[in-house]
Amino acid sequence: MARELANNESVIREIFDKWAAAVRAQDIDGIRANHSPDMLMFDVPPPLFSRGLDAYMETWNLFYKCQVRPIVFNFDDVKISAGEDVAFVTAIGRCVYIPPDGGPTKLQFRLTVGLREQDGNWQIVHEHHSVPAEE
């Protein structure tokens, strides 16, 4: 059992690393990979949530419109907790965006990714991106 859980953590880390690399490369197919068709995402900019893979993919258009080049999308403090068929990844992310009225701005955000194993494949079923409240 311990070996299986360690293997699950390794597989999930590979999925996470490939997803982050796909974002940096603007690889839309790579971003879409390993996501459940009925996934749910809570995000920082509106819309605050998106249901379903197509709605999730639409949010990347907004992301790319306001990012510096090359894309910064890096993670620290990545932790993976994997069970037999459910897993979570938590991390602190960093990106650099360009607001409509200003220059490049560094953004640090929290990320939680929920995964579920189905038929031998791990799929991302939930992403939660957030920033600390400022008030």
Span 79-105, average pLDDT: 95
Q: What are phi and psi of 33, to 5 degrees?
A: -55, 145
**What is the extent of the structural domain holding 90?**
2-130
Return the DSSP state at 71.
P
Distance of CA 32 to the CA centre of its chain: 10
Residue 44 lies in a domain: yes
Query: Looking up tokens 């819309």, which residue turns up?
Result: 47
Taking only the tens place, the pLDDT of each residue in 38-63 is 999 999 988 899 999 999 999 999 99
Domain count, the chain: 1
pTM assigned to the model:
0.94
Q: What is the pLDDT of residue 91?
A: 98
The string of pLDDT tens digits covering residues 117-130 is: 998 899 999 999 99
Buried b (16+ CB within 10 A) or exposed e, 25-48: eeeeebbeebbbeebbbebeeeee
Residue 135 lies in a domain: no
In a domain, 104, yes or no: yes
Of 85, 87, 104, give the one whose Cα is nearest residue 96: 104
Any idea what the CATH number is for the domain that residue 27 is in?
3.10.450.50
For the stretch 8-15, contacts whose Cβ atoms lie closer than 8 Å and that sit 24 or more positions apart, written own/partner, are 8/82, 8/83, 8/84, 8/87, 8/117, 8/122, 9/80, 9/82, 9/87, 11/122, 12/80, 12/82, 12/87, 12/89, 12/115, 12/122, 13/78, 13/80, 15/115, 15/122, 15/124
**Residue 77 counted as domain residue:** yes
pLDDT in the model for residue 134 = 82
Instruction: Return the pLDDT at 62.
Output: 92
Structure tokens at 86: 């459910």
Q: Is residue 67 part of a domain?
A: yes
